[in-house]
Structure 1
Amino acid sequence: MTKSNTTSVALAAMLAAVCGSAAAQPSETLGKVKESGSITMGVRDASGAMSFTTGPGKYTGFHVEICERVVADIRKAVQLDKIDVKYQLVTPQNRIPLVQNGTVDIECGTTTNNAARQKDVAFAPTLYVEGIRIAVKAGSGIAAPAQLAGKTVAATTGSTSVQALRKLGRDGVGGVSEVLSKDNSEGFLLLEGGRADGFVADGQILATLISKSKEPEKYKLLDQVLGVEPIAIMFRKGDPAFKKVVDDSILALARSGEVPRLYDKWFMQPIPPNGSKVGLPANAMTKAAWAAPSDKPLEAYEAR
């Protein structure tokens, strides 16, 4: 074999290796959407008024509607007349892997943007800053987290509420028995059925579950906030073109003044499927996020 042929073979082998490596990676998202004419939206079935189901294959909520606005801008960016939105139900346990492997293009549930997760995925600017709270039965006599000492408290597996629950012990609330639910609905059922004395979760999730329960007056949220968390739309890391379209869409929505109206629609007005009201006014940090949206992680809020 001549030197020229040897060089050609080596070059071909190198190109094959590069192409094979590229093929193993999820395609660039905008190109994938344009080619397929569809986008896969990660959604939750019981994440309060942020993302929930109203029936088989039907999902809605504050974050879902925000994502629908974003998808409209993605459609314009890839110059399509229509995009087919495919819903993918995700859980706290599988949402990040499904975004990483390209199964989900944009996740529109209740995911906290923190530094650890930013190593694996990317986030859009935050439009909702959550407070982790505790729900208890109104007649329990429990008025503060300290009174949960020696009692059973639930949290959802894979959620940041688990860390908030465990922090109670480190803060001196002794003898708390931890019980983990597979999802938020099950966690509330543990409280409802008396198998847990408290349920730790995002405040809006708790408020929504209470509003939709058979007897909302039987439950209350403790005043103390265990943690503050920026909840944001999540998508694959390392795709700057897609992030720019999503970020620009979110920023334009915030500048338009539309976000407070959407918040009022989902958190202060009757919502499907039974017309219940969450009744949770926007807190000061959420309003600040609307005024200056950013993708800064949880740790930036804690450092303030």
Structure 2
Amino acid sequence: MPHPLRTAFCLAITVAAGVLPAAQAQETRPTLAKAAETGSLRVSYRESSVPFSYLDNNKPVGFAMDLCGHIVEAVKTRLKKPDLKVEMQPVTSANRIPLVVNGTVDLECGSTTNNTVRREQVEFAINHFYTGTRLLVKKASGIKNWPDLKGKKVATTTGTTNFQVLRKYGQEMKLDLEVISGKDHADSMLLVDSDRAVAFGMDDILLYGLMANAKNPAEWDVVGDPLQVEPYAIMLRKNDPEFKKLVDDTLKGVIASGEFEKLYKKWFQSPIPPRNVSLNVPMSEQLRQHLKTPTDKPAL
């Protein structure tokens, strides 16, 4: 049986160089009705959120992309449109929510935290990962934990929850941090690589992905106690219960069939492109417990 991602994304794929024409107001049509009418589904990806959603030879790949591949197949089946066109759209931390809200994209398949603030604007599928904010540093920096950052510059990515987490923690602990932002995760890592910041504060799993694919992984380390635990989930528009149910039911089926665990091993415990390095990240106990009774419970 063909892999769902390959059949969904390689049969009819349009990779947009820029943003697809966006609606001026919030999209109100149900997603399935819109897809049936237009003959297409718009799926977004991230360019450097390893291993969830990133580019390999200019093609979006990753754990979240594979999960979305199953959802695309479910939409094709529901609409009885095996030739449904899949339009791919790159998004950033800063524009991902607006592009879901206004209908530019129907599914956001990246590394987005499901929290209560965001749910005022968008909806989330059931959670598929849990992570916490830590630090990517050069080993030569000598930084081992948060107190070592006192009075220093720390990078994070624009539009992420981590920006506020870092600022709040720095103020509470009187670390006198200067938080500076990169436009995406690769750019934030570059701020550290070029010594414009001493550390990159971000979800630890994304830091492991960036480190594994660095030119010299041995020069880097992920350090610091996790500041908080946050769930990742696929993002979709609010007030669309039919599509939300299809997405959740599809993901629950992936979990029940054992396919979710296979995909986890593929992306977190096996060599992955582009450098064929394994992240060697075992499934957390929190995620294992979640898989027994999957929910879309947000972080606070």
The corresponding residue for 1:148 is 149
1:298 match: secondary structure: coil
The corresponding residue for 2:36 is 34
TM-score normalised per structure 1 = 0.87
Shift of 1:235: 0.5
Q: Deviations over 1:13-54 (max 9, x none)?
A: xxxxxxxxxx98442210111222221101100011000011
The corresponding residue for 1:127 is 128
Bigger Rg, structure 1 or 2: 1
Alignment of 1:173-184 (within 5 A): 173-184=174-185
Match status 1:101 vs 2:97: no
The corresponding residue for 1:17 is none
1:59 match: secondary structure: strand
Alignment of 1:1-304 (within 5 A): 25-56=27-58, 58-299=59-300
Stretches of 4+ aligned residues off by more than 3 angstroms: 23-26
In structure 1, give the amino acid aligned to 2:40.
S
Q: Distance in 2 between matches of 1:193 and 1:292?
A: 44
2:117 match: secondary structure: helix
Q: Which runs of 5+ in 1 are unaligned?
A: 1-22, 300-304
Q: Distance in 2 between matches of 1:93 and 1:266?
A: 25
State whether residues 112 and 230 of structure 1, in contact with CA within 8 Å, keep that contact through their aligned partners in structure 2: yes
Shift of 1:82: 2.4
Larger proportion of helix: 1
Q: Distance in 2 between matches of 1:236 and 1:206?
A: 28
State whether residues 51 and 62 of structure 1, in contact with CA within 8 Å, keep that contact through their aligned partners in structure 2: yes
Shift of 1:170: 2.7
Q: Distance in 2 between matches of 1:272 and 1:157?
A: 26
In structure 2, give the amino acid aligned to 1:55.
N
Q: Distance in 1 between matches of 2:121 and 2:128?
A: 21
TM-score normalised per structure 2 = 0.88
State whether residues 112 and 229 of structure 1, in contact with CA within 8 Å, keep that contact through their aligned partners in structure 2: yes
Stretch moving more, 243-252 or 286-295: 286-295
Q: Distance in 2 between matches of 1:168 and 1:216?
A: 28
In structure 1, give the amino acid aligned to 2:31.
T
State whether residues 26 and 102 of structure 2, in contact with CA within 8 Å, keep that contact through their aligned partners in structure 1: no
Shift of 1:74: 1.2
Q: Deviations over 1:85-115 (max 9, x none)?
A: 1111011111111111111011101111111
* Aligned sequence identity (%): 39
State whether residues 134 and 198 of structure 1, in contact with CA within 8 Å, keep that contact through their aligned partners in structure 2: yes
Q: Which runs of 5+ in 2 are unaligned?
A: 1-24
Shift of 1:171: 3.0
